[in-house]
């Protein structure tokens, strides 16, 4: 019997997270064309380099006038003004608008200096070179003043901000043809286990297809990284060591799944016994994934997640995702937490806190949660339905229906 080959010290999830985050070094920046920056994180703050708008802008199609000229206008009393010119968008007005005059103007065009209101076209009646108005206008009406939206030198986007539609519009407004973003982390993903078949292979008795690598690759990509799905590794420590060292230089960090428990063939444990790396932890007070181990090897992190799909998924969300967020300059590294009302009994007790794959719903302003499906660590099918992790405290009794529980949100929009 191989027995317990490895000394393990139990750490809390929060301490394990901090141990990982202690090793964060921001990704270096790279410049990409604006249209390739969507979904990336900014590697520099963005300030307004000019006010917006930077000229007095007409908000409607109509006539630029002196508001004072309209003060006697009413539905029963038309005031007639002389039309001096037409100002299309993008053109500087040629003339001043003097008292008694009006200039035809389009939405988005520059309001001539002396004018102080724009009357909507629908409120006017035009003849050859004149316009009649029947509405009293206030000063400033339908004119967007300089800097209405933003003044010059306002901090608009912090470094680390995710570039979405609103950010893209701002960057374009301020002339960012190219944008400095954090380089995407490259992540090697290895599944270990001689029972694993590559996805294209026919099923064999006792063997299963490798699903963890694809699940994790999807998680890495969602988190803004470039996943490299590596060939499945057999349960041979020399082979695993060579494969990991071989890719090490080409990636920012490595994820493995499987082989971290106490089985004879738990190959990552064998590796930890022979390598020149350092373990940060190898036992976490959590279910699923208590044997989750993280080490640092030749300056790169190695996340050794449990092979069970549920444990692997949860391990990524609790340890790898915060690390990736930090690498990419996002300050809210740990998933957001709320509390919710448990909709079913969860009577399975546990020595460690449980992170149950769950579904959130909101009813009448109140948050409810229930397990997304079967919740064993070995069960994979419920992962697709999970949008949260329900935290069931350690202890023999689990949690009862109606109890308030901590809920870790997995699908919160990020900024
Ligand atoms: N005597 C004990 N046995 C076990 C313990 C324990 O404390 N004492 N811990 C259990 C817990 S908890 C977990 S979690 C698992 C952890 O196992 P490993 O991380 O060593 O993973 P494996 O043994 O390699 O595989 C477990 C399970 O997952 C399947 N698997 C592995 N890789 C994949 C993959 N890429 N795609 C899909 N499925 C995968 C594998 O076939 C196994 O069924 O250990 C418990 N045992
Ligand atoms: O750590 Mo294991 O995934 O709890 O079953
Ligand atoms: Mg095992």
Q: ipTM of this model?
A: 0.97
- Model confidence over 65-106: pLDDT tens digits? 999 999 999 999 999 999 999 999 999 999 999 999 999 999
In three-state secondary structure terms, 343 is coil
Flag whether pLDDT at 264 surpasses 90: no
H-state helical runs in 264-389: 267-274, 309-315, 321-327
Query: 259 CA distance to ligand 1 centroid (A)?
Result: 7
Q: Which ligand is nearest to the CA of 193?
A: 1
Has this prediction a pTM greater than 0.95? Answer: no
Centre of ligand 1 from the C-alpha of residue 234, in Å: 14
Write out the two tokens for 390.
């329900």
Q: Which of 90, 99, 141, 98 is nearest to 118 (CA)?
A: 141
Give me ligand 3 centre to Cα 107, in Å: 68
Pocket of ligand 2 (CB under 6 A): 287-291, 306, 308, 311, 377
**pLDDT tens readout for residues 191-237:** 999 999 999 999 999 999 999 999 999 999 999 999 999 999 999 99
User: What is the per-residue DSSP string for 292-308?
Assistant: -EEEEETTEEEEEE-SS
160 secondary structure, DSSP code: T
In the predicted model, what is the mean pLDDT of residues 257-262?
92
Residue nearest to atom 1 of ligand 2 (CA): 289
Residues in the ligand 1 pocket, defined by CB under 6 Å: 191, 193, 195-196, 208, 210-213, 257-263, 266, 288-291, 306-309, 311, 377-378
| Residue 292 alpha carbon, nearest atom of ligand 2 | 1
The encoded tokens of residue 212 equal: 């963890």
Which of helix, strand or coil describes residue 123? helix
Residue whose pair of structure tokens reads 């949100």 in the numeric block = 409
Average pLDDT over residues 132-161: 97
Contact in structure between 185 and 198 (CB atoms under 8 Å): no
Residue reference for tokens 């809390």? 12
Segment 1-25, tens digit of pLDDT: 344 466 799 999 999 999 999 999 9
Residue 109 near residue 60 (C-beta atoms within 8 A): no
Q: Which residues of 199-219 are buried (b: 16+ CB within 10 A; e: fewer)?
A: eeeeeeeeeeebbbbebbbeb
pLDDT at 128 (0 to 100): 85
Question: What distance in angstroms lies between residue 195's CA and the mean position of ligand 3's atoms?
Answer: 11
């Amino acid at each position: 019997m191989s027995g317990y080959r490895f000394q393990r010290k139990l750490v809390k999830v929060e301490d394990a997270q901090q141990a990982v985050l202690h090793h964060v070094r921001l990704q270096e920046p790279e410049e990409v064309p604006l249209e390739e920056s969507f979904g990336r994180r900014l590697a520099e703050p963005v300030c307004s380099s000019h006010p917006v708008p930077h000229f007095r802008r007409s908000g409607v199609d109509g006539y630029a006038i002196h508001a004072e000229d309209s003060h006697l206008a009413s539905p029963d009393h038309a005031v007639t003004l002389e039309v001096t010119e037409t100002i299309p968008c993008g053109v500087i007005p040629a003339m001043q608008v003097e008292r008694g005059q009006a200039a035809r103007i389009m939405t988005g065009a520059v309001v001539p200096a002396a004018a102080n209101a724009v009357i909507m076209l629908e409120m006017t009646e035009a003849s050859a070179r004149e316009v009649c108005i029947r509405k009293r206008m206030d000063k400033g009406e339908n004119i967007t003043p300089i800097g209405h939206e933003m003044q010059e030198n306002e901090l608009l986007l912090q470094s680390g901000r995710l570039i979405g539609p609103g950010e893209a519009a701002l960057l374009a407004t301020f002339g960012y043809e190219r944008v400095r973003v954090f380089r995407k982390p490259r992540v090697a993903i290895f599944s270990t286990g001689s029972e694993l078949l590559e996805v294209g292979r026919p099923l064999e008795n006792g063997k299963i297809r490798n699903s963890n690598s694809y699940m994790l690759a999807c998680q890495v990509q969602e988190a803004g990284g470039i996943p490299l799905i590596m060939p499945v590794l057999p349960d041979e420590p020399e082979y695993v060591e060579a494969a990991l060292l071989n890719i090490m230089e080409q990636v920012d960090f490595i994820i493995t799944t499987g082989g971290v428990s106490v089985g004879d063939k738990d190959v990552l444990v064998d590796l930890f016994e022979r390598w020149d790396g350092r373990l940060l932890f190898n036992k976490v007070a959590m279910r699923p994934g208590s044997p989750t181990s993280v080490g640092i090897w030749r300056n790169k992190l190695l996340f050794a997640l449990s092979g069970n799909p549920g444990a692997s998924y949860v391990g990524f969300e609790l340890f790898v995702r915060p690390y990736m967020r930090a690498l990419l300059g996002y300050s809210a590294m740990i998933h957001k937490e709320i509390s919710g009302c448990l909709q079913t009994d969860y009577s399975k007790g546990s020595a460690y806190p449980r992170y149950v794959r769950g579904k959130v719903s909101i009813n009448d302003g109140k948050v409810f949660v229930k397990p997304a499906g079967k919740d064993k660590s070995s069960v994979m099918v419920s992962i697709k339905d999970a949008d949260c992790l329900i935290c069931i405290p350690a202890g023999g009794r689990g949690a009862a229906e109606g109890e308030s529980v901590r809920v870790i949100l997995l699908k919160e929009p990020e900024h």
